[in-house]
């Protein structure tokens, strides 16, 4: 799996994944576990629906005044000692980060999990520039060892089972094979920990950016996030614009929603709030902090009809419940963000020309809408994108003609009856040429349709 986008091959990717028994059982098991944990975690939250309303309203408020919040965040963060950079696109962000590192002669970079860094393919770029980049989140670490990309935004190695991880560690790290998760974690920790102490820089993302205080907020479980952001002398955080929340006073709403939606925890092991650099007298914190605010298409999304996707807080609940995602896995979607939120974000960020088959990757069942903590109307967005695909000319000409005929027939009872008659009469032909996948799964049309049986 490389950094090349393969969203156009969604069907082929998915078909390949369907034939991968270990992927399918790993996916099914993990998605079910997260789904159950989520439900259990929310069971005692009596005001869940009100909480979702509040979170949705807060996120919309941020989107309505995004520029204002972004400017407030930038000035407050700068006041607290951070250097704030603005990157228009992926290339700009990569250059800014590489430049900061090069200027300081940094060679070794430790990374906490960041999907935005995946979006801009940062690792490959820094490695090309001769730097040693180490992922320190366990899942990311596994993925990096295999040379893949994450297949889930919260659980990057969700598609791997422990036997595969055991084999990988034995092969790449020269340890004895074990499939005991605790042992595997220990092995990874030992290997990663050495690097922390010698790293020149730490690279992280952020779950939220509180505008009023210029603070970064990170939700993590393994402790690596705290190490990455405090042990090395230099910390670079990269985040996309829509991560803003008005202030830290709004954080409790998201503390209650995000971990429960993501992993079914009532809170993550660590919630780190980073406001600026290490102050005199403080024992921890990076001496130098750079914050890269990435646009990469967000401003354009903001002005369009699918802007609500920017409310997303990256919990991954939508993918855990998605029947398609849990069956075909994240790599099938062919870019950084998979599952329901990924369909929308990928088509908007990379353009219809590179991604249009993704808009079909939903049965429109609405399971995602039911769990989204910030009430993104994902099904409505899929429908809007499908309309846009037709408008932008990426639908098959035959489909377009077919739908025109369908519309005409639906408005003309006699034409409709004629269609029924023809398909019934020439059923063997329909089956032969209508595609065995489709017509082969339909029953034979009734000899006398219902409308002719009604007295």
Partner 1 sequence: MRVQLFGTCLVDSFFPEVGEATLKLFQRFGVTAVFPRGQTCCGQPAFNAGYADDARTAAAHFLSVFDGDAPIVTPSGSCAAMVKHRYPDLFQTDPVMHAKAERAAGRIYELSQFLVHALRAHESGLAGKGTITYHSSCHLARDLGVRDEPLILLRSMKGVRFVPMPDATRCCGFGGTFMAKLPEISCALAEEKADSIVATGADAVTGCDAGCLMNIGDAMKKRGNPVQVRHIAQVLAEGL
Residue 217: phi, psi to the nearest 5? -125, 130
Q: Which residue's CB is nearer to partner 1, number 247 or number 420?
A: 420
Is residue 377 involved in binding partner 1 (CB under 8 A)? no
Is residue 182 involved in binding partner 1 (CB under 8 A)? no
Q: Which residue's CB is nearer to partner 1, number 185 or number 363?
A: 363
DSSP code per residue over 138-178: HHHHHHHHHT---SSSS-TTTT--HHHHHHHHHHHH-PPP-
Among 93, 371, 389, 430, binds partner 1 (CB under 8 A): 389
> Strand 201-204 to strand 108-111: parallel, antiparallel, or no bridges (unpaired)?
parallel
Q: With CB under 8 A as the contact rule, which of the stretches 85-93, 109-117, 296-304, 444-452 interacts with partner 1?
A: 444-452
Q: What is the contact mask toward partner 1 in residues 280 to 319, using x (rule: CB under 8 A)?
A: ----------------------------------------
Among 78, 360, 377, 431, binds partner 1 (CB under 8 A): 360
Q: Which residue's CB is nearer to partner 1, number 28 or number 167?
A: 28
Is residue 88 involved in binding partner 1 (CB under 8 A)? no
| 3-state SS assignment for residue 209 | strand
Rounded-to-integer distance, Cα 77 and Cα 180, Å: 43
User: Which residues neighbour 409 within 8 Å (Cβ) at sequence distance 6 or greater?
Assistant: 415, 416, 419
CA dihedral 117, 305, 334, 11 (to 10 degrees): 170
Among 43, 50, 124, 403, binds partner 1 (CB under 8 A): 403
Which region holds residue 294: left if phi is over 0, alpha if psi is between -120 and 50, else beta? beta
SS3 content of the chain, % helix, strand, coil (to 5): 55, 10, 30
Q: Which of 100, 116, 111, 172 is nearest to 140 (CA)?
A: 111
| 3-state SS assignment for residue 271 | strand
Among 367, 374, 378, 381, binds partner 1 (CB under 8 A): 367
Residue 84 pairs with which residues in a beta bridge? 291
Among 64, 104, 400, 422, binds partner 1 (CB under 8 A): 400
Q: Which residue's CB is nearer to partner 1, number 41 or number 328?
A: 328
Is residue 352 involved in binding partner 1 (CB under 8 A)? no
Among 114, 136, 272, 362, binds partner 1 (CB under 8 A): 362
Among 223, 393, 413, 428, binds partner 1 (CB under 8 A): 413
User: Could you give the C-alpha distances from 347 to 87, 331, 350, in angstroms and in order?
Assistant: 21, 15, 6
Is residue 433 involved in binding partner 1 (CB under 8 A)? no
Is residue 48 involved in binding partner 1 (CB under 8 A)? no
CB of 158 to partner 1, least distance (A): 18
Is residue 435 involved in binding partner 1 (CB under 8 A)? yes
Is residue 361 involved in binding partner 1 (CB under 8 A)? yes
CB of 384 to partner 1, least distance (A): 9
Q: Which residue's CB is nearer to partner 1, number 20 or number 132?
A: 20
> Strand 288-294 to strand 82-87: parallel, antiparallel, or no bridges (unpaired)?
parallel
Is residue 442 involved in binding partner 1 (CB under 8 A)? yes
Contact 79, 214 (CB under 8 A): yes
Q: Which residue's CB is nearer to partner 1, number 162 or number 431?
A: 431
Contact 366, 379 (CB under 8 A): yes
Contact 209, 245 (CB under 8 A): yes
Rounded-to-integer distance, Cα 29 and Cα 173, Å: 27
CB of 421 to partner 1, least distance (A): 10
Interface residues for partner 1 in 217-276 (CB under 8 A)? none
- The contact set with partner 1 (CB under 8 A) reads 11, 14-15, 18, 323-324, 327-328, 359-367, 369-370, 383, 385-390, 395, 399-400, 403-404, 406-413, 416, 420, 423, 435, 437-438, 441-443, 445-446, 448-451, 453-454
């Amino acid at each position: 799996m490389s950094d090349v986008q393969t969203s156009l091959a969604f069907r082929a990717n998915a078909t390949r994944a369907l034939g991968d028994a270990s992927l399918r059982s790993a996916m099914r098991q993990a998605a079910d576990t997260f789904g159950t944990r989520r439900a259990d975690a929310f069971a005692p939250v009596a005001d869940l629906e009100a909480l979702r309303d509040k979170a949705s309203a807060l996120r919309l408020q941020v989107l309505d005044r995004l520029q204002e919040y972004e400017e407030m965040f930038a000035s407050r963060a700068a006041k607290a000692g951070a250097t704030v950079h603005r990157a228009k696109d992926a290339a700009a962000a990569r250059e800014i980060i590489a430049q900061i590192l090069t200027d300081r002669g940094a060679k070794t970079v430790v990374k906490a999990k960041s999907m935005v860094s995946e979006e801009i393919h940062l690792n490959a770029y820094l490695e090309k520039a001769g730097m040693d980049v180490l992922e320190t989140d366990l899942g990311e670490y596994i993925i990096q060892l295999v040379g893949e990309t994450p297949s889930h935004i919260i659980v990057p190695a969700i598609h791997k089972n422990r036997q595969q991880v055991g084999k990988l560690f034995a092969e790449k790290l020269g340890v004895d094979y074990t499939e005991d998760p605790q042992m595997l974690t220990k092995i990874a920790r030992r290997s990663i920990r050495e690097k922390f102490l010698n790293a020149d820089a730490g690279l992280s993302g952020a779950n939220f950016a509180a505008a009023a205080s210029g603070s970064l907020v990170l939700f993590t479980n393994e402790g690596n996030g705290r190490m990455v952001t405090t042990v090395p002398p230099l910390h670079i955080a990269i985040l996309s614009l829509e991560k803003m929340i008005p202030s830290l006073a709004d954080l409790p709403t998201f503390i209650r929603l995000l971990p429960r939606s993501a992993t079914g925890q009532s809170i993550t092991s660590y919630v780190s709030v980073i406001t600026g650099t290490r102050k005199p007298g403080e024992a921890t914190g990076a001496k130098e902090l750079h914050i890269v605010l990435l646009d990469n298409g967000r401003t354009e999304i903001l002005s369009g009809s699918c802007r609500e996707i920017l409310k997303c807080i990256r919990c991954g609940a939508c993918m855990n419940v998605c029947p398609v995602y849990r069956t075909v896995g994240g790599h099938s979607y062919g870019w950084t963000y998979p599952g329901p939120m990924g369909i929308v974000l990928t088509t908007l960020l990379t353009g219809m020309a590179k991604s249009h088959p993704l808009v079909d990757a939903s049965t429109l069942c609405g399971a995602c809408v039911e769990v989204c903590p910030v009430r993104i109307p994902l099904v409505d967005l899929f429908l809007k994108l499908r309309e846009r695909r037709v408008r932008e000319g990426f639908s098959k000409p035959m489909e377009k003609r077919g739908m025109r005929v369908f519309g005409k027939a639906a408005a003309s009872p006699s034409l409709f009856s004629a269609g029924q008659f023809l398909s019934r009469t020439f059923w063997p032909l329909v089956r032969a040429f209508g595609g065995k996948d489709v017509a082969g799964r339909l029953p034979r049309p009734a000899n006398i349709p219902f409308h002719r049986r009604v007295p």
